Chain A
Amino acid sequence: MDNELSALVTIFTEFYYWITVVLMFLIHVGFCMYEVGVSRHKNHLHTLMKNTMLIPLVTITFFFFGWWIYWAFVNGPWIGTSIMDGNSGLQLGGGFGANDMANPTNALMAVNLGDHFYGVFWAAFLLFSWTAASIVSGAVIERIRTSAFGILAIAIGSVFWVIDASWGWHFDGWMVKILGYHDAYASGVIHAVCGGFALGVLVVLGPRIGKFAADGTPRNIGPRNPWLVTLGLFLIYTGFWGFYAACNVPVYDLGPEYGMEGVTYFTATNIYLTPTTLGGITMNFLMSLSGGLLAGYWISKGDPFWTYSSGLAGIICASAGNDLYHPLQSMLIAMVGVFCAYKLHYWVERRFKIDDAVGAVAVHGYAGVVGLIICGFVLWGYPSSGYGPDYAAINPIGMIIGAFIMFCVLGFLPGWILAKIIDSTGKLRIPHEVELAGMDFNYMEASKADETAVAADEK
């Protein structure tokens, strides 16, 4: 920063990402409130701690290796070729984007007067990682061991979603170059992959006791506290706004970046460094939220749980192309996503006896997949990048393959395999007797004893 303009841009950008991180913290507050609101009284504290402890676990592992993965795997490895140095293996050196700087011992991974962006950019990605793990957390409440969930949270939060981000959410990612994959606000790279991962875990984990009648008919368990659920989802909406902002670069000169000689073009960009506007994406965010709420209220006949969740599902479905859609397209796409997610949730629940306690697989997984597929058709022919003709244009086939990679290859499969491994050690699910009594029984018993003792002294 050796002149006032560069200082202004630098400090503004640093502060911009810093604010998005604070806003995104609200997503996690919302998820905690939501999960506790849905769980029964006898499981509240364990439910809360499960979601809370993913914060430190994902944070430290994202520092250890998650950030490194994001910068290392953009070429597959050995699937695509980097536009920076022609490398097709792990991106280990040379050119911007090389991941030497993401090594946890690198000088940039600390307070460094030579760099103002790196830490807040790391933090923004870390908050995405918390969200990834938290999506899975809601689906498995009231029967998973906290220790098992901790391992699964690290797997999805610091490994698998990061791989897909490296592949499809990076300006040099092979999925962008070869498939024409486009996912501006993460319909697939966060939501579809986490929905798939949650489904893989749920298949192995099984339903809560009493969820299904002897004849297989599903029963509704909760939500116990609709006010916590309401506040939780409103906070998730709010944090999601911060997430949208965090997916952008607020000020960027695309002229020299795209090799346009003598051209200066300052704009906001998405994560692929293609132009968009913060105003436009704000309209699309609100219109897709509205489309989701309208469709959810309609299809669920005014059920509050589904209506709120549908607002979220609507945004998730439109997110892949919300950097380019018209607001009315966003609204209608959101409605289609909600319809599909709602119908698929109940079909899968009845057909496969899947107990998804918060509808996470539907809201994030199915809505995300539908959003990717729709994006492939609506944005068919758009360039996936401004870096030249080596990049495939956005197209339906590429987006369908991308959706499969997200939901199945990097989502369902790792979730299922990891859950199987943990289950084989007897450490995945809590004992039957504990599930009946409630995981908080000992806490509650001790609290009641204290209350009785204090009351006796007060007499």
Chain B
Amino acid sequence: MTAAPQAGEHTGRTIASGVFLGLGVVAFVDETVFHQLLHWHHFYDRSTPAAGLVSDGLFHAFGFFCAVGALFLLADVRRRGVFDARRWSGGLLAGAGAFQLYDGTVQHKLLRLHQIRYHVDLVPYDWTWNVIAVVLLVTGAVLLWRSTR
């Protein structure tokens, strides 16, 4: 009889690692692709409200803290031999989707802290952004659901 690693043990840690990394990756992509490669956002937009400056700063710090922490959590579940790829990627996609959806709805539209791009018709950008977010979130949720059954 083989003693398989117990499924319940460290499940939370595996999922947390995925979710945090997803969040960190979205924050990182936002910074590098939109700020530095496309220059759709600027280092400092004079039109950005003070609240936007504060929330951007918080999410920047939180994003890379999450990414680093997630990698150490991943190393931890791997050394314990309880890594479950499906569960982890489910967390990753769900975390990325949830954060992007939050960014696209609450931060962009509800609070109007910043926009995806300036001086253009935002409708196609917003739809693309949020549809990608929902697809990521749903895929992640399905993976998670199937991995924990």
The answer on A and B forming one complex is: no
